[in-house]
Amino acid sequence: MSYYRYFPLWKTLLEGSGAEVVLSRRTGKSLLENGVRHCVDDICVPVKLYYGHVLDLKDRVDSLFVSRVVSVEKADCDTYTCPKLIGLPDMIKSSLEGLPPMIEFVVDIQNMSLKTSAKKLAKDLGARAGTARKILSRSLDVQARYEAELLRGLTPEQAMEKVFEGGNGEHEGAAVGERNVNIALVGHEYLIHDPFISHNLPRKLKSLGANPILMSEVPQEVLEKELCRYPEISWSYEKELLGAASYFLGRDDIDGVMLIIGFACGPDSIIGEIINREVRTPLSPPLTTLVLDEHTGEAGVATRIEAFVDLIRHARERQ
Amino acid sequence: MKVSFPHMGNAYIPLSALLSNLGAEVIVPPRPTSKTIDAGALHAPEFVCLPFKVNLGDNLRALQMGADTLAMVSGMWACRFGYYGRVQHRILRDAGFEFESILLGREGVGAVYNKFRDTVDGNLTLSWLRAFRAFKRKAEAMDAIEKSAREKRPYERDRGSTSAAMDEGLRLVHEARGLKEADRALDGARELLDGVELEDVMEPPLKVAVLGEIYAVLEPSLNFDIERRLGEMGIMPFPVMSVYKWLFRPLKTDPSILIEERRARRTARPYIAYVLGGEEHQTISGTINAARNGYDGVIHLYPFTCMPENICRAILPRLESDFNIPILNLCLDEHASPTGMTTRLEAFVDLMLQRRRSRSKG
Ligand code: SF4
Ligand code: SF4
């Protein structure tokens, strides 16, 4: 589930240690259905997806790489990601049969740096101390470049292509203001960028002549400044949503904000309410909430997006 | 100040004692019913967890009954509960209600301490001490009554007589003013419970651990009063948590509770390596302990979409086979029905009986 966050780091690290990286196939209907079948019914869609991806991989690999993201920021108070991201490996381990041995990558910034985590991983993989250091610095480097590309407005897919293949990631006009309708997308990246579950939301927006603005473009400092205006939140990823929503809702070059939340997502149910009630003001650009689950049809998403874009265009014509 | 707070089992008894000793008028909304839940669900975000909706419904009732202050615990935790107060109070304000908030945990102890400066005449510190003493005494009385009723119920001759005695006893304690009266009320309650007629049963009752999300385990309106239901089916329930522990755990005044918590974490560690912010350690360790202590089964209760318990739910089947103990998962939401619950309980009881018989044979 942290593919869109850390994959460049992992890939470099794993390959540097002599492992071959096998990715699960892109999400598709049967993959998702398989995940749903092995999962608790009322859990959030992304976890169901994750199960699907694990099942897709399990017979094709010698060991399974899973991440456990406990905390992603260093703060004086307790911060967390989401209980499910913390307990993910435990769930997988106990509920799926016939899994290959697991390699666990723990991100717990509150207690150890990303570098320490990466070092542990390199050691687990059996890299010698000397090479390990080299691999380590290279992977952290690649990761930093990847994050920089995201800030420039590339989608994770484009950014990865650029970092790994040296392509230019065809940076098509993501700068604010170039197209006529700027729509900011706020939501977990594993929802927005999973082409199956979000039905290619960013691309759909583009085909309607709208310009999707991604959360990953907003620099950390800006997010933090926005967050100062609200009482503390303990979930780091939800903080990003709140900060980004607050930033986008306060700008006049953003024409609309779409809040993308996953059905049965615990933190989103709370943060969605906070964004709607504490952040939105009568002056904010329109805000709409799109709830995605495994039953959301492509047509449903398309209609919602079209309606939203139309609404913005009409409102503008009237002015 | 007319203060109110959402229900959690019989917690209103000690909490009322605490607040009234601080000079506040306490508004206790009626016990939540399906109407309360519907009212809460109407204003709540769609897929927020069920306790949120019940709490919100309780708060709505309290405001309609004239409360001007709502109290709630709140904090920086991994789970949603930490945000309940903040979001609920905002929802209620947006719905047009005006009231003061007391968010215990977020505002810091000092701020909450000072909130009662105007309601207390005389020394504030002394009032707090007195209030806390009353709170503790009533919490202990409540716990003792609940426990004794739990132990009697499977043996009662007339179905419902234990619960009637318990309710009456709890009422006595709730209405008692002052420590002496509270003690006398507890004696009265004991007498009532001792008066319940018991009968001999042929077989020792089935023993079942009841665990899961804390609110689902402890709030009868959520779980259709499972403790009573089981007792009246002749089954001995062992809830892993109690309202008493729930109240005193965060206060950190009772070392035995803290030790027990730590032990639970240790037992659960092979299955859950990190803290998830709910009762996951109690669920996992409770199940393991139940198996080790020869219980006949485990009932796992959790609200629809509850995050920590969803994770446990994924792990429990493994425990079921590792430790050879049957587990019944009951997922609760506003559409759950008591008949559905009864059917599933009955089937589970049959299963446990069968196991017991085949075991004693083999
Ligand atoms: S943040 Fe939401 S979507 Fe993500 S794992 Fe947690 S519950 Fe699921
Ligand atoms: S433990 Fe479950 S029910 Fe309680 S706040 Fe968390 S998700 Fe909701």
Which backbone phi and psi does B300 adopt, to 5 degrees? -105, 115
Q: Whose CA is nearest to atom 6 of ligand 1?
A: A82
- Domain boundaries A181-318, corresponding CATH code: 3.40.50
Interatomic CA distance for residues A133 and B255, integer angstroms: 46
Tell me, yes or no, if A35 comes closer than 8 A to chain B by beta carbon.
Answer: no
Residue at B52: amino acid letter: F
Structure tokens that stand for B68 in this block: 């001007």
Q: Which of A174, A178, A179, A212 is nearest to A290 (CA)?
A: A212
- What SS3 state is found at A219? coil
Q: Which of A3, A18, A22, A9 is nearest to A164 (CA)?
A: A9
Q: Pocket around ligand 1: residues whose beta carbon is below 6 Å from it?
A: A 44, 46-47, 82, 84-85, 188, 262, 265-268
Residue B362, pLDDT score: 61
B166-175, B245-254, B297-306: which has the minimum mean pLDDT? B245-254
Per residue in A79-130, pLDDT (tens digit) is: 788 888 899 999 999 888 888 999 888 988 888 888 888 888 887 777 677 7
Residue A178, pLDDT score: 45
Taking residues A213-222, report their average pLDDT. Answer: 90
With beta carbons less than 8 A apart as the criterion, state whether B138 and B17 touch.
yes
Write the CA distances from B134 to A311, B15, B44, B173, B178, integer angstroms: 60, 9, 35, 11, 7
Write the CA distances from B181 to A158, B193, B243, B334, integer angstroms: 73, 18, 22, 39
Q: Whose CA is nearest to atom 1 of ligand 2?
A: B278
So where are chain A's domains?
3-22+61-164, 181-318
Which atom of ligand 2 lies closest to the CA of B79?
A: 6
So where are chain B's domains?
2-119, 128-198, 203-361
Which atom of ligand 1 lies closest to the CA of A264?
A: 7
- Domain boundaries B2-119, corresponding CATH code: 3.40.50
Q: A13 falls in which pLDDT band (50, 70, 90)?
A: confident
Per residue in B186-226, pLDDT (tens digit) is: 999 999 999 999 998 888 999 999 999 999 999 999 999 99
Burial class (CB in 10 A: 0-12, 13-18, 19+), B90: middle
Question: DSSP letters of B30-51?
Answer: PPP-HHHHHHHHHHS-TTS-HH
Burial class (CB in 10 A: 0-12, 13-18, 19+), B180: exposed
Residue B336, pLDDT score: 81
Cβ distance B317 to A95 less than 8 Å, yes or no, reads yes
- What SS3 state is found at B248? helix
Per residue in B316-339, pLDDT (tens digit) is: 999 999 999 999 999 998 888 888
Q: A299 falls in which pLDDT band (50, 70, 90)?
A: confident
Inform me whether the pLDDT recorded for B30 exceeds 90. Answer: yes
Q: A174 falls in which pLDDT band (50, 70, 90)?
A: very low
Q: B75 falls in which pLDDT band (50, 70, 90)?
A: low
Cβ distance B305 to A39 less than 8 Å, yes or no, reads no
Alpha-carbon dihedral A146, A147, A149, A154, rounded to 10 degrees: 100
- Model's pTM, two decimal places? 0.90
Which atom of ligand 1 lies closest to the CA of A261?
A: 3
Query: Which residue among A83, A95, A291 places its CB closest to the CB of B315?
Result: A95
Q: Which of A267, A268, A263 is nearest to A291 (CA)?
A: A263
- What SS3 state is found at B293? coil
Structure tokens that stand for A305 in this block: 């997006």
Cβ distance A77 to B76 less than 8 Å, yes or no, reads yes
Query: Which residue among A80, A234, A274 places its CB closest to the CB of B87?
Result: A274
Query: Which residue among B46, B76, B90 places its CB closest to the CB of A277?
Result: B90
Residue A177, pLDDT score: 44
Cβ distance A82 to B271 less than 8 Å, yes or no, reads no
Residue B112, pLDDT score: 85
A108–chain B nearest CA distance, Å: 11
Write the CA distances from B305 to A44, B22, B119, B310, B361, integer angstroms: 8, 38, 41, 7, 41
Chain A and chain B share a number of CB contacts under 8 A equal to 115
Q: B73 falls in which pLDDT band (50, 70, 90)?
A: confident
Q: Whose CA is nearest to atom 2 of ligand 1?
A: A265
- The residue of chain A nearest to residue B87, with distances taken between CA atoms, is A274
Question: Considering chain A, what is the average pLDDT of its residues?
Answer: 86
From chain A residues 228-247, the ones with a CB under 8 A of any chain B CB are 231-235
Interatomic CA distance for residues A103 and A81, integer angstroms: 20
Q: A175 falls in which pLDDT band (50, 70, 90)?
A: very low
CATH number for B203-361 (one of 2.40.480.10, 3.40.50.11900, 3.30.300.30, 3.30.460.10): it is 3.40.50.11900
User: Can B2-119 and B203-361 be said to share one CATH topology?
Assistant: yes
Cβ distance B315 to A68 less than 8 Å, yes or no, reads no
Contacts of A270 in chain B (CB under 8 A): 45, 48, 80, 83, 87
Residue B66, pLDDT score: 94
User: Closest-lying ligand to the alpha carbon of A293?
Assistant: 1
- Picking from A77, A239, A273, A291 by the largest number of B CB atoms within 10 A of its own CB, the best residue to mutate is A273
Interatomic CA distance for residues B360 and B280, integer angstroms: 33
Contacts of B46 in chain A (CB under 8 A): 269, 291
